[in-house]
Amino acid sequence: MHDNAGNRARIEAKTREVLALPAVPILLGGDDSVVIPFLAGFADHGPVWILQIDAHIDWRDEVHDERYGYSSPMRRASEMAHVVGMVQVGLRSVGSARLAEIEASRHYGSRFVTARAVHTEGVEAALRHIPEGARVVVTLDCDGLDPGIMPGVAARTPGGLTYTQAIDLIAGLGKRARIVGFDLVELYPPADIDGLSVLTAARLLVNAIGTIVRQV
């Protein structure tokens, strides 16, 4: 039996512990559900913005009576008082979202930046929505990347961000704002091809750490 509630409590507690050092917490998932307690851990360290890199908006209120699952992290984040805004980048697939979820996210004020917008306008299409100097938590779902470089995900969707776009987005964010937390989730090794996804994920993580270190 999975101890979902216990795992959420442990993730939130450890996030709070790292922030109290003070340091920048980095979480490696796990599916997208781990993002919820990770963000909850910032309750005493707000206000924060969220930069989500993902193919999907993740705004379901509940799925099969589960409100804290992988389809709901941005919906739960929108209910957290310390989260004051979010930018969702790389969108290109409906996933579990319905019209109600799209309307709810827009009513909240979430900024949608499709993968196509990044391809045509560059990473500035996303960065311009982040206030200068803002404290930002980055949540990177591996399916936000194109499956040509990140095949090891549960739901491959063509047209995602390139590796260069992803690292430029992270680096640009570090210059415009301040990254105060980072997670990388939804890596699914059984679907990987020749270890390409693991390599890409590792390099994204190293680039994120480098950007965070240079902020100090």
Beta pairing partners, 141? 185
pLDDT reading at 94 higher than 80: no
Neighbouring CB atoms inside 10 A of 118's CB total 24
Q: Which pLDDT score, from 0 to 100, does residue 96 have?
A: 66
Q: Which pLDDT score, from 0 to 100, does residue 2 have?
A: 81
Q: Find the range with the poorest average confidence among 1-5, 103-107, 110-114.
A: 1-5
Task: Report whether 89 contacts 161 (CB < 8 A).
Answer: yes
Q: Which pLDDT score, from 0 to 100, does residue 98 have?
A: 83
Q: Which pLDDT score, from 0 to 100, does residue 75 have?
A: 97
Helix 196-215 vs helix 163-176: crossing angle, to nearest 10: 10
**Alpha-carbon torsion, ordered 139, 144, 147, 152, to 10 deg:** 30
How many alpha carbons fall within 13 Å on the CB side of residue 85? 12
The mean pLDDT value for 168-194 works out to 98
Q: Which pLDDT score, from 0 to 100, does residue 216 have?
A: 67
Could you say which DSSP state residue 51 is in? E
pLDDT reading at 139 higher than 80: yes
Mean pLDDT, the chain, whole residue set:
96
pLDDT reading at 129 higher than 90: yes
- Position 140: which residue type? L
CATH of domain 26-215: 3.40.800.10
Band (pLDDT 50/70/90 cuts) for residue 122 is: very high
Neighbouring CB atoms inside 10 A of 213's CB total 10
User: How many residues are recorded in the chain?
Assistant: 216
Euclidean distance between CA atoms 94 and 55, whole angstroms: 8
The mean pLDDT value for 136-145 works out to 98
